[in-house]
């Protein structure tokens, strides 16, 4: 199934049932009276996060979701039946926005998190409600209130411990294939990865973390160039960023330092908070040069970038350095606080 990370849907809560205007007609009751019941409540619409749903593609097919209406009240002071609520299942990591007001209605970060997106209408009053000492036989009743309706924008952002950052063909897909069971497409042309891939990296019994292979970024991504901000947002929920730099770019005129600075600039332009996120430098493809030359080139890149954080030299294709990298990442992930709250949003 094609990965889809945005969708517009319409939700309509059920209308409340109308009240009833009715009077008792009993043989041995000399004075009757109003006995019309209230209408039932309309059903509400909820969104609930659930594991196993990995895309919003289904919402490109079914775009409208309606809860049941409440039924009308009846005689003998009987209240109408309430409409059944509708629960729509969405992927974990879905942000729910009102498309008209841009208000965020919920951020479904864990399985089971539920958000009310359209409240059902109240049932109308029956004529019993209008009985008084001066009005013994009211014929008045109320229609049910309409249910809420909204157009929602659903935005899915992957939730991962580690996000891979870098230019197209920096080796991100190769790395995630090397350290996890994920099998993203690998080829020697730009934008091989067209949607995020998640892989679980196991580092021993009961110790693992989730790594996200984010499509490659280019200069201008924050303004929509290349695959643009559509995928920059997926980095927002990662806890550590791995910035992969190809020490031997295919283009002989390319400067890895200039390209790395451009990527950092795009991060900061998109989000100041994302620009401050913990970031490790991973110098990839050391197998393509003699060891001494590869080491010299790596040192030159680190020096020119003035990078002070953790730095690793690896070959994602052949394996050297990858084990040390994932073990260091595992230790860091265990040190960091969980990226999401334990309590579901209201």
CA distance 79 to 172: 61
> Span 329-341, mean pLDDT?
75
pTM: 0.65
- Let me know the angle formed at the C-alpha of 95 by 98 and 225, rounded to the nearest 5 degrees: 95
Nearest to 159 by CA among 109, 122, 99: 109
* Paired tokens of 224: 């929509």
What domains sit in the chain, N to C, each tagged with a CATH number? 6-156 (2.70.210.12), 162-335 (3.40.50.300)
**How far from each other are the two terminal CA atoms of the chain, in whole angstroms?**
31
> Span 328-334, mean pLDDT?
92
When the pLDDT of each residue in the chain is averaged and rounded to a whole number, the result is 83
CA distance 171 to 328: 19
CA distance 230 to 216: 11
Nearest to 138 by CA among 23, 31, 25, 29: 23
CA distance 344 to 223: 33
DSSP bridge partners of 64: 10
Q: What is the pLDDT of residues 72-116, one digit of tens each?
A: 999 888 999 999 999 999 988 899 999 999 999 999 988 899 999
Please, which pLDDT band fits residue 282 given cuts at 50, 70 and 90?
very high
Least confident interval from 37-51, 139-153, 261-275: 261-275
CA distance 90 to 294: 46
For residue 341, is pLDDT > 80? no
Q: What is the pLDDT of residue 190?
A: 41
Segment holding 265, helix H or strand E: helix 256-270
DSSP state string for 187-212: -SSS----S-EEEEEEEETTEEEEEE
Segment holding 246, helix H or strand E: strand 240-246
Q: What is the pLDDT of residues 116-130, one digit of tens each?
A: 999 999 999 999 999
CA distance 35 to 20: 8
Q: What is the pLDDT of residue 326?
A: 93
């Amino acid at each position: 199934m094609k990965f889809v990370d945005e969708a517009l849907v319409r939700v309509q809560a059920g209308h409340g049932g109308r009240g009833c205007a009715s009077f008792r007609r009993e043989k041995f009751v000399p004075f009757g009276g109003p006995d019309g019941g209230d209408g039932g409540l309309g059903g509400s619409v909820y969104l609930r996060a659930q594991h196993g749903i990995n895309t919003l593609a289904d919402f490109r097919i079914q775009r409208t979701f309606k809860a049941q209406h409440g039924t009308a009240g009846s005689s003998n002071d009987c209240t109408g039946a309430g409409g059944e609520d509708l629960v729509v299942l969405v992927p974990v990591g879905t942000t729910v926005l009102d498309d008209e007001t841009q208000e965020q209605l919920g951020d479904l970060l864990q399985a089971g998190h539920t958000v009310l997106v359209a409240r059902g209408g109240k049932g109308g009053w029956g004529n019993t409600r209008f009985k008084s000492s001066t009005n013994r036989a009211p014929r008045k009743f109320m229609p049910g209130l309409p249910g809420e309706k909204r157009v929602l924008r659903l935005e899915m952002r992957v939730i991962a411990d580690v996000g891979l950052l870098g230019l197209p063909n920096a080796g991100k897909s190769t790395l995630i294939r090397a350290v996890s069971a994920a099998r993203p497409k690998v080829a020697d042309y730009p934008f091989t990865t067209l949607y995020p891939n998640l892989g679980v990296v196991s580092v021993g019994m009961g110790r693992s973390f989730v790594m996200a292979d984010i499509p490659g970024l280019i200069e201008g991504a924050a303004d929509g160039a290349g695959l643009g901000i559509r995928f920059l947002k997926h980095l927002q929920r990662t806890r550590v960023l791995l910035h992969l730099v190809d020490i031997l770019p295919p283009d002989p005129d390319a400067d890895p330092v200039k390209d790395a600075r451009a990527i950092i600039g795009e991060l900061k332009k998109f989000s100041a908070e994302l620009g401050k996120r913990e970031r490790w430098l991973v110098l990839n493809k050391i197998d393509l040069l003699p060891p001494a030359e590869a080491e010299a080139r790596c040192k030159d890149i680190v020096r020119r970038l003035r990078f002070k954080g953790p730095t690793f030299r690896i070959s994602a294709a052949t394996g050297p350095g990858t084990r040390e990298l994932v073990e260091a990442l595992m230790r860091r992930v265990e040190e960091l606080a969980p990226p999401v709250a334990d309590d579901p949003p209201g």
